[in-house]
């Protein structure tokens, strides 16, 4: 019985140590979520306004530009680039696996349309997923998933823009898609897939989000304006996606660590009850042995008299 009690107590100490770690990680993630949300909120107005400017230019410019041109290729299969955003660290629940699952669905859809897919991956989890399966990676970045900077987004966007502007016959891509986790609230984070380029031009009578487009005068030309806005537009959208993913990662890690802490508390209570039962059984056995010894000694003394 004593050995079993020691095992229970050793397991309780081990679970208590794990609980302290998960609780500390939960508090750290909770504090980082606030900062991540503030960064998302700070970047949103710029991303929305530059998107409106590009949309207005594409709508009123009446120009044939790669930004809005749908590719129609007869002598080769269209090529699409996909940027997948995952985390550098684990202990975030299903955060990375959900984004990877969404990217796999997008790849299957694009291939069903006869398109070749080039994968660009952000985060060590996504890179490990591709390396383990010996899949080619057109570009990879890591080390900043929890706190991305604008320069990180600019580095990524430059590679994507270069691939988009390169002719398809020379290995360029005709489309760019983003797969990342969108931060909805502290409980809900949703993996999404969005096409970044080319822009979808739709004929509609509804007023755009944010009000009607202003009447722009393009200098020197609409094409020149689109050429100037293209890098900034891609930079802002990639940066916004990285910030959304960072906030989602911290929220997912906080939720996972809270669940781990709660499970540790339940396990400690269960082990404590088991240890108490073992201790009570040990005490009962000791009392029984003492009583039996006393009875045997009393019987021996009575017989000798």
The pLDDT score that the predictor gives to residue 142 is 92
C-alpha distance from residue 57 to each of 128, 228, 245 (Å): 40, 11, 29
The pLDDT score that the predictor gives to residue 106 is 94
The pLDDT score that the predictor gives to residue 192 is 93
Residue with tokens 């590009």: 54
Mean residue pLDDT of the chain comes to: 83
Higher pLDDT, 7 or 249: 249
CA distance linking residue 88 with residue 141, whole number of Å: 10
Strand, coil or helix: what is 135? coil
- Which of 77-87 are b and which e, b meaning 16 or more Cβ less than 10 Å from the residue's Cβ? ebbbbbbbbbb
The pLDDT score that the predictor gives to residue 257 is 92
Residue 164 counted as domain residue = yes
Residues in Cβ contact with 59 at an 8 Å cutoff, skipping those fewer than 6 apart? 201, 213
Residue 299 counted as domain residue = no
The pLDDT score that the predictor gives to residue 17 is 93
Whether pLDDT at 207 is above 80: no
Which two structure tokens, joined as six digits, stand for 239? Answer: 């940066």
Residue 244 counted as domain residue = yes
Q: Is the peptide bond before 198 cis (omega within 30 degrees of 0)?
A: yes
Task: Quote the domain boundaries for residue 26.
Answer: 21-258
Whether pLDDT at 132 is above 90: yes
Residue 142 counted as domain residue = yes
Residues in Cβ contact with 67 at an 8 Å cutoff, skipping those fewer than 6 apart? 54, 58, 197, 198, 199, 226, 230
Total domains, the chain: 1
Whether pLDDT at 205 is above 80: no
The pLDDT score that the predictor gives to residue 295 is 73
Residue 268 counted as domain residue = no
- Which of 188-207 are b and which e, b meaning 16 or more Cβ less than 10 Å from the residue's Cβ? ebebebeebbbbeeeeeeee
Count each helix (H run) and each strand (E run) in the chain, helices first. 5, 5
> E strands within 142-200?
175-183, 189-197
Note the pLDDT tens digit of each residue in 86-128. 999 988 888 999 999 999 999 999 999 888 899 999 999 999 9
Residue 5 counted as domain residue = no
C-alpha distance from residue 154 to each of 60, 149, 233, 275 (Å): 28, 9, 11, 58
The pLDDT score that the predictor gives to residue 171 is 78
Neighbouring CB atoms inside 10 A of 35's CB total 13
CATH of the domain at 237: 3.40.1380.10
Question: What band does 206 get if pLDDT is binned at 50, 70 and 90?
Answer: low
Residue 266 counted as domain residue = no
Note the pLDDT tens digit of each residue in 46-88. 888 787 777 777 666 565 666 666 655 544 568 899 999 999 9
Residue 200 counted as domain residue = yes
Question: What band does 203 get if pLDDT is binned at 50, 70 and 90?
Answer: very low
Note the pLDDT tens digit of each residue in 255-303. 999 999 999 999 999 988 988 888 888 788 778 878 777 777 777 776 5
> E strands within 96-168?
116-122, 139-141
Nearest to 153 by CA among 183, 196, 103: 196
C-alpha distance from residue 191 to each of 61, 76, 97, 181 (Å): 34, 31, 10, 4
Whether pLDDT at 204 is above 50: no
């Amino acid at each position: 019985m004593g050995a079993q009690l020691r095992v229970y107590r050793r397991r309780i100490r081990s679970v208590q140590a794990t609980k302290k770690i998960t609780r500390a990680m939960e508090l750290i993630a909770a504090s980082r979520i606030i900062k991540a949300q503030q960064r998302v909120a700070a970047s949103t107005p710029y991303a929305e306004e530059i998107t409106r400017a590009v949309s207005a230019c594409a709508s009123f410019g009446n120009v044939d530009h790669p930004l809005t041109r749908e590719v129609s290729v007869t002598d080769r299969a269209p090529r699409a680039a996909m940027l997948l955003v995952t985390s550098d660290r684990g202990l975030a629940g299903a955060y990375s696996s959900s984004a990877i699952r969404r990217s796999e669905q997008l790849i299957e859809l694009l291939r069903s349309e006869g398109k070749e897919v080039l994968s660009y991956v952000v985060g060590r989890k996504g890179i490990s997923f591709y390396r383990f399966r010996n899949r080619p990676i057109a570009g990879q970045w890591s080390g900043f998933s929890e706190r991305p900077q604008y320069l990180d987004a600019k580095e990524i966007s430059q590679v994507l823009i270069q691939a988009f502007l390169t002719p398809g016959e020379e290995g360029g891509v005709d489309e760019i898609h983003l797969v990342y986790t969108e931060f909805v609230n502290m409980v809900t984070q949703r993996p999404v897939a969005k096409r970044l380029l080319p822009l979808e031009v739709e004929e509609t009578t509804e007023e755009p989000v944010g009000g009607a487009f202003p009447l722009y005068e393009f200098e020197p030309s609409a094409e020149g304006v689109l050429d100037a806005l293209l890098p900034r537009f891609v930079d802002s959208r990639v940066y916004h996606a990285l910030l959304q993913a960072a906030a989602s990662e911290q929220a997912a890690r906080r939720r996972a660590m809270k669940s781990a802490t709660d499970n540790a508390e339940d396990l400690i209570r269960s082990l404590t009850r088991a240890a108490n039962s073992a201790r009570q059984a040990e005490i009962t056995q000791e009392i029984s042995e003492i009583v039996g010894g006393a009875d045997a000694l009393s019987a021996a003394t009575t017989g000798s008299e």
